[in-house]
Amino acid sequence: MRIIILTLLLFFCCTSNIAAQDDYLVSTSANQDISISEEEQFIKQNFPMQFLCKWTPGIKFMFNPSGHDQFLPILSFCENEKEVESTTLKHKILTFVGTEEISKELSIGTNYSTRFLFECEGKKYYYEFKNIRLDEICEKNPRACINGLVYLQDVDTAKELLIGRKVYIQSESARIDDTNNYSGYQDIAIPTNLEATITAIGVGNQTCPVKIIFKDNQDHSFYLELALSRTNSGMDLNNFQAEKKMKYFSNAISFTNKRLDNIEALKNKYIGLTIYPKKMLEAQRITFHEDSPTKSRVHLPRYTILNIKDIIISSVPNTQAVLSVTDKNGAVYEIEVDLKYDIIIKNDNYIEDLFGFGNIHQKYSGITEEHWEIISKGDLKEGMSTEECRLSIGNPIEIRLKKDTRFET
């Protein structure tokens, strides 16, 4: 009986300890719909990544080594295992036909290597991963790739889906072909969010297999080389950072005008807000006579409570705008502002420099309408409180505390 009681006590103690520990362990839901951009969704649906170890026979590549790789042997002949000069295969199409495992008996045991086999114009070639079996290649290096092979399915799919499509280029630079340049191209600067039409698509390089040629509204042509599925690129998504960021399709290309999106976001940020001028502002008062609007120039005093009803953008991509506001009596005014601050020109009509946000009259509910009128003009009146004086003429240059009365000057 005593053993049973001790066992039960131990069970309940352990259970309570486990329950107490569980209170500190939290987790998120495994099944969630994570929002992704239209461009990311486009890649996800049409450009699935083919991991090296999952390649199936029939996949096609163009042999296009770049940099030092074009001067080094990459492939070997299957018939005699001799290395192939890379220049003899440049720009030729290789078809993947399968893999084979090569084993050699050594004094220390069996050594395994894996060969990836390709066919081109009736001849067979291979690329060898030495001292490793097929299932170990991607397990040890998920980004494993074969130098010089440009994945052609990305090019074919991009041709089918993108030629003729209008896009907005987010990169600040592009390239034009230049046979007089050692690299074969010339870098040029382009405006961010440039509207352009895709006119042609061809082969790029191993990392960025899709060469996309654009034409802007002035008939200027240029190109970008971009990664889509990342098949055989040797790149993870997090590798497309800093100078490589614009090498990935969804970073470099937008299907929508980002500036319009940004302008709409700015408009939505301010419409409906209660504001007040921080200083006397020029405005146009809108009055209606027989449904015909008339504008008259007025000066809005400081601290006039206004509500933003609408924002009219003068032209995109500019952020110059006209605020349509109403006062407490329903009078309508229009005020010119800039929705974005420019640190270079230091624009003096930036909306958040001109206005305070919120109902300042409610914040200082003890101030009478008579005093608000005095404060708005920057005047003082005997009997005004310290707070009212601060609102009217600003903070004092100096505060002196006297021992007898401790008043502020």
Same domain assignment for residues 81 and 143: yes
CA 306 to centroid of chain Cα atoms:
35
Residue 75 is predicted with a pLDDT of 96
Q: Are residues 85 and 107 in the same domain?
A: yes
The answer to whether 206 and 232 are in contact (CB under 8 A) is yes
Could you tell me if 229 and 266 lie in one domain? no
Q: Would you call 321 helix, strand, or coil by DSSP?
A: strand
Asked if the structure places residue 72 within a domain, the reply is yes
In the predicted structure, residue 6 carries a pLDDT above the cut 60? no
Distance between CA atoms of residues 134 and 138, nearest Å: 8
Please report whether residue 3 resides in a domain.
no
- Report the pLDDT value the prediction gives residue 319, as an integer from 0 to 100: 77
Q: pLDDT confidence of 288, banded at 50, 70, 90?
A: confident
Which among 260, 191, 244 has a CA at the least distance from the CA of 220? 191
In this predicted structure, the answer to whether residue 243 has a pLDDT above a threshold of 80 is: yes
Domain end point (choices 224, 255, 286):
255
Domain end marker among 232, 255, 278 = 255
Average pLDDT over residues 383-392: 90
Q: Which two tokens stand for residue 35?
A: 């929002």
**pLDDT at site 15:** 58
Q: Given this model, what pLDDT does residue 17 score?
A: 60
Q: Look at the chain and report how many structural domains it folds into.
A: 3
**Residue range of the domain that includes 215:** 152-255
**pLDDT given for residue 187 in this prediction:** 95
Query: Tell me, what's the pLDDT at 263?
Result: 76
Tokens of 235: 């790149």
Tokens 């070997």: give the residue. Answer: 76
Strands 292-300 and 332-338, bridge-based pairing: unpaired
The pTM for the full model equals 0.65
Taking each helix axis as running N to C, give the angle between helix 38-46 and helix 152-162, from 0 to 180 degrees, rounded to the nearest 10. 130
Residue 318 lies in a domain: yes
Given a contact cutoff of 8 angstroms between Cβ atoms, the answer to whether 125 and 76 are in contact is yes
Of 112, 129, 150, the last residue of a domain is 150
Check whether residue 156 and residue 143 sit in a common domain.
no
Structure tokens at 113: 């290597």
Q: Encode pLDDT of 38-91 as tens digits.
A: 899 999 999 999 999 999 999 999 999 987 788 889 999 999 999 999 999 999
Q: Which residues on adjacent β-strands are paired with residue 39?
A: none
Residue matched to tokens 């000069």:
85
Query: Is residue 292 in some structural domain?
Result: yes
Quote the pLDDT of residue 163: 95
Same domain, 62 and 133: yes
Query: Whole-number mean pLDDT of the chain?
Result: 88
Mean pLDDT highest for which of 20-24, 125-129, 334-338, 382-386?
A: 125-129
117-131, 334-348, 376-390: the lowest-pLDDT one: 334-348
Contacts of 61 (CB under 8 A, 6+ apart): 93, 94, 95, 96, 118, 149, 150, 151, 152, 232
CATH number, position 248: 2.30.30
Mean pLDDT of 359-388: 91
User: What is the per-residue pLDDT for 80?
Assistant: 93
Please report the pLDDT score of residue 323 as a whole number: 92
- Residue 247 CA to residue 307 CA, distance in Å, equals 45
Q: Is residue 137, in this structure, part of any structural domain at all? A: yes
Phi, psi dihedral angles at 315 (to 5 degrees): -165, 145
Instruction: With respect to residue 370, please indicate whether it lies within any of the assigned structural domains.
Output: no
Residues 79 and 164 in one domain: no
Who wins on pLDDT, 189 or 317? Answer: 189
Q: pLDDT digit string (tens) for 160-195?
A: 999 999 999 999 999 999 999 888 899 999 998 999
Q: Which residue has the higher pLDDT, 403 or 224?
A: 224
Judged by average pLDDT, the poorest of 9-23, 290-304, 390-404 is 9-23
